[in-house]
Structure formats: structure tokens, C-alpha cells
Amino acid sequence: MTSPLTRQTLSIVLTAGLGVAGATTSPPAKAIDTLTITESAISPECLDYRMVGVCVWLYCSWSGCRVRTSIKVRHYIPELVVSSYENTGDNPWQEMALVSPPTSGALAGGRSTSEAEDHLHEGLRFKNVDAIGHPGNALFSRFVSRFGYSCSSPAEPFMPYFLSTLDALAWRSGIPEMAYPEALIPGRRDLGQPGDMWGNVYPRSGFLTQTHDYKAAATMAQRAADIVTRDGQPHVYQSLTPSSRPGYWPPDPVVEGDASTHRWQSLTPSLSRACVVWPDRGHADTYADRLEEAGDYAWTLWRPYSCCKRRGQTLLTHTGG
């Protein structure tokens, strides 16, 4: 049964976290702050602004009806900051660290969970994941307006769309998704490429057998994005699933490896101005330059929108997909 987070609950959680952030704990060594994340939205490469077609509208007034046209554009929008990190309370987004405070008695994770439980396999890793609305909405809107007409996203800045600490049952147990066909059939929903398997998307929980920490963290972030961009999932979360309307075409739910649904921008341990879908390197690459000693990572999730200016009451047709 789906348990969506209510806006009131999310607001209480966020306010409580911001009220004490920095007052009781120190941020992780590789923490990134809100200002830096906001500025990262100024990325022409991630934006990928394109004029892709034409919209044909029927405009009617007291004097009669006529046909009008407008340019159809497509570009990506930074919607979520997705953090994948080891210990609750150590979100690398500095101001959001207290939104998911340490959970008493819960397995914290670690580069290998064998550090916490000797009987667990050394390749089994655990990550907490938070997906929070990108704070750079206003700055991004001013930036993209330079290119011409632009699309909008319903994503709200600082809104916690997914906090794994609030989804503890599903995130730590894998119930009920461990019994789903996607989890039982190899290759059904996997992140990776031939010779370089990062991990299975299902079950969408915090555990994964993967010796490479960056690949494990990225797979957890992919799982969270998969949840948030769909309705009716067996998790505690707030969905981000905009509906289409005449002249406005939002993206499909995120699918691993599919750039037509999303791209990732690295925020920490290193800030990038480029966006990619994973895997973004050859199968023999070690990704050693992306490993973070403490095991804490953060990315921006960009998603593509298409739209055109409304110039009539009825959209007759449109080109450009």
C-alpha cells in the first residue's frame, strides 16, 4: 500500500531539520552547501536547450477563428538533489543533514556492512538516500529565460520528496519488492553495461551487493529517482509526476540508462557542469577519481520537458515528438 508523504508532514520535518542544522552536529568533511548547489543550476550543457518543433493553435474570437503557431522547445530542468550516504544524519548537503537525523539502533551502513555485522557478506553495502527539491529554481528560471520561451517544473525547492529514514521498513527490508519479477529475473531492471554491472534497480532498498562504493551509491540514487517519479509505489514518499496538457509535455518516469527521462549532475565529492546517464564510461574504467573516502555522494537529477507558448484555445497539432 502506498504511503505518500503529506505536505504538512514534509514541512514539519524540513522546518525541524533547518531549525537545528549546524547547532548539534558538524557537517561531513565533503559537505556541499545550498549556495553552491543553487549556482550549479547554471549549466548550459545540462540545460541542453533546443527548438524541436512547432505547435499549431486554433484561436477564436468574436471576429472569427484563425490559426496561430508557436515554437516548441525542449530542455532539461534541475528538479531534485539526491544524496546517497552512509550514516543517517550525514547528508552531504550541509543544511539538509538534520532532516534525516541519526536513527537509534539502526544499522548505519559503511563501506562494507561487515564493519557493523561480522556475519554479513563484505560486498554488501548500505546507503541512506534523500531526494529533496532543488534550491535553484528562481536562479535557473532567470538563466533559461535568456534562451527564449522555457518550460516549468512542479518540483518545489527544499521539498523532501523522499527520505529513506521515513521509509525505513521498505528501505531496510526490501519488502515487498524483493518478491517482484523485476527483482527475481536477472537483467529485467539493471543499471550497468556488458562487463560492468552496477546493480539491480529492484528491490528499491538501501542494500546492494557491490564492491565499488561509487557504483553502489549511484545505484541507490537511481532507485530513489525511480520511486519518486512514479505514483502508487510501496514506499513513504511524495511523488513528482507532472501531467501533460496542451502545449506542455513532461518527462516519463525515470528509467536507468535512458537520457530521454533524466540525467545526473555530480555535486559532491566533485562538482561538475556536465550531465550524464550511468554508466558514462567504458566497462574497464575504475571510476577511482569519483570515490569519496567517507562514502557520501550527491547529484542533481535533471529531467527533460517540452513545451510551447499557448496561442489559442485548441492545440490542433504539433511537431518535434
* Site of grid cell 503557431: 69
Q: What is the DSSP letter of 88?
A: T
In 3D, which of 79, 71, 87, 91 has the Cα closest to residue 133? 79
Give per-residue pLDDT as tens, 247-292.
999 999 999 999 999 999 999 999 999 999 999 999 999 999 999 9
Nine cell digits for residue 29: 568533511
pLDDT for the residue numbered 267: 98
CB within 8 A of 206, min separation 6: which ones?
109, 126, 127, 128, 129, 164, 171, 172, 220
End-to-end CA distance of the chain: 35
pLDDT for the residue numbered 31: 83
What is the Cα 134 distance to its own chain's centre?
9
DSSP string, 119-164: TS-TTEEE-EEEEEE-TTHHHHHHHHGGGSS-----PPTT-EEEET
Q: Cα–Cα distances in Å, from 21 out to 26, 94, 98, 101, 129? A: 9, 8, 5, 10, 18
Residue 152 pLDDT greater than 90, yes or no: yes
Give per-residue pLDDT as tens, 90-132.
999 999 987 766 665 555 554 444 344 444 446 899 999 999 9
CA dist 187 and 189 (Å) reads: 6
* pTM summary value: 0.87
Give per-residue pLDDT as tens, 12-22.
444 444 443 44
CA dist 15 and 282 (Å) reads: 43
Give per-residue pLDDT as tens, 38-96.
999 999 999 999 999 999 999 999 999 999 999 999 999 999 999 999 998 899 999 99
∠ Cα 201 92 141 (to 5°):
85
* Site of grid cell 534562451: 147
Q: What are phi and psi of 206, to 5 degrees?
A: -90, 0
Nine cell digits for residue 208: 546492494
Q: Which one is predicted more confidently, 106 or 239?
A: 239
Answer yes or no: are the C-beta atoms of 34 and 93 closer than 8 Å: yes
